[in-house]
Amino acid sequence: MDIMEIDTINTEILSLGTPKIPSPLHKETDTITEHFVADQDRVLLFVDEKKVLSFVAKGQPIPSFELAGPRSQIYFDPSKMRCALVTCGGLCPGLNDIIRAIVLELYYRYGVRNIYGIRYGLQGFIPSFGHDVMELSPRNVENILDMGGSILGSSRGPQDIDDIVDCLERMNIGILFMIGGDGTLMAANRITDTILERGLKISVVGIPKTIDNDIFLVARSFGFETAVDVATQAIEGAHNEAEGYPNGIGLIKLMGRHSGFIATTATLAKQEVNFVLIPEVDFDLEGPSGFLTKLKKRLESRKHAVIVVAEGAGQKFFEGASAERDASGNIKLKDIGVFLKEKISDYFHARKMEIALKYIDPSYMIRSLPANANDSVFCGFLGRDAVHAGMAGKTKLLIGNWNNHFVHVPMESSAGKRKHVNPNGKLWRTVIESTGQGSLKNE
């Protein structure tokens, strides 16, 4: 991942106070005591020797994250704890896996009995919406792994931060687990600031959720592998359709508002794609190196083509259109998939060249599916480490995956920033090698 201004990134994790209570995990009969971690256990941001040595040469501390995991001393008394969970924003494979992991870890490992699910995102904190609170226990989460969506429901859009904190006070919540994307993490950041301003002892722990895998300082987010899995099935279907007809074209639109990780990764997993269009890499439609020109050459030489486009690609072609925003404040993207379908059809019709174009958009099917095996395992780690962090009194952090370890990332260091495919990096270079598309930009 390409990270700028790395020496300005804060990796310090806030704590509500000194943990003084021996963890109940000490009472377990296995060798769990060998697995306690300390705040001094760190994971380097960089494993590149040159970058590490550059910090050493400057006499600067080498940037590193706290390692996630159970602490031998905890801050909260489990017998008096009340915890809340909320899922926000768009649906994503793995939400129920996260919920289940948190509930089971709190209940069985720490002995917390009062666990509540906030219904329908941040709306659930606001009395005027009238959403009931769901009591969570092992019994009502044991069979949710094979269910898509979220048993708590979700919603988009901001709510009054003071009203949210008022609700947490009324419910006497000690730990709030917030599962959501960038907007949710920014809200969590503000909620924590208000909690700290009021002098309350409430821990806020974020679990980053984005199917697009574009959260800053998080190498992998849950749901991404499931999305890639299903996307490869769409690619296979599009390829079969394209091969079945003369001048057959399979066009697949995949998720990726600002980052093309699903499109690029699915392409490399199913190397039958000839053109990949992502938000990070500009392209032209016509001209000697334009997309349509190269598509025509592909059909003339091979008689079929498969195209993958991320939903945020090519938005420059809609300049002048109104910048509508959704309930979360995100600009509503124009439909690049339908746009390309029409442009491709018009282009070949004008040249009296018959084509057979099939358009596939699996986006909403993907995000509402249950997690696949790898994502489900990944979600279990995230949920359990979120509990360990919260019970230790840590706050204003998210559980991230970095250099193959689960770590604590300060919310303020990640929220409001985004991870992108590097147009000069190995991932995109490999896509270019796989597809052979070259540059689609007229110089």
Structure tokens at 361: 């958009």
pLDDT tens by residue, 241-292: 999 999 999 999 999 999 999 999 999 999 999 999 999 999 999 999 999 9
Domain membership flag for residue 376: yes
Do residues 27 and 60 both lie within one domain?
A: yes
Q: Is the pLDDT of residue 2 over 50?
A: no
Is position 154 within any domain? yes
Do 240 and 290 share a domain, yes or no? yes
- What is residue 121's DSSP assignment? G
295 and 399 assigned to the same domain: no
AA letter at 135? E
Residue 19, both tokens: 């943990």
Chain segment 202-238, per-residue pLDDT in tens = 999 999 999 999 999 999 999 999 999 999 999 999 9
pLDDT above 70 (res 384):
yes
| Same-domain pairing of 152 and 24 | yes
Of 8-17, 55-64, 233-242, 332-341, the least confident: 55-64
Q: Could you tell me if 123 and 271 lie in one domain?
A: no
Q: Where are the alpha helices (DSSP H) in 20-120?
A: 49-57, 95-104
Sign of CA dihedral 193, 389, 153, 103: negative
Is 91 a residue whose pLDDT tops 60?
A: yes
pLDDT for 51: 77
Domain total for the chain? 2
Which tens digit of pLDDT belongs to each residue from 347-378?
A: 999 999 999 999 999 988 898 899 999 999 99
Q: What is the pLDDT of residue 323?
A: 64
Same domain, 102 and 147: yes
* Angle made by CA atoms 9, 94, 306, in degrees to the nearest 5: 90
User: Residue 101 is part of which domain span?
Assistant: 6-221+369-414
- Compute the average pLDDT of residues 397-422: 95
Question: In terms of domains, do 208 and 73 share one?
Answer: yes
Shared domain check, 184 and 93: yes
Q: How far is CA 348 from the centre of its chain?
A: 38
Q: Same structural domain for residues 240 and 197?
A: no
How much is the pLDDT for 7?
54
Predicted local distance difference test score (pLDDT) of residue 9 = 83
- pLDDT above 90 as % of the chain: 85
As a whole-number percent, the residues of the chain with pLDDT over 70 amount to 94
- Name the catalytic one among 160, 162, 182, 212: 212
* 77 tagged catalytic: no
Q: What is the pTM of this model?
A: 0.93
CATH number of the CATH domain containing 261: 3.40.50.460
Q: How far apart are CA 395 and CA 411, in angstroms?
A: 9
- Residue 131 pLDDT: 97
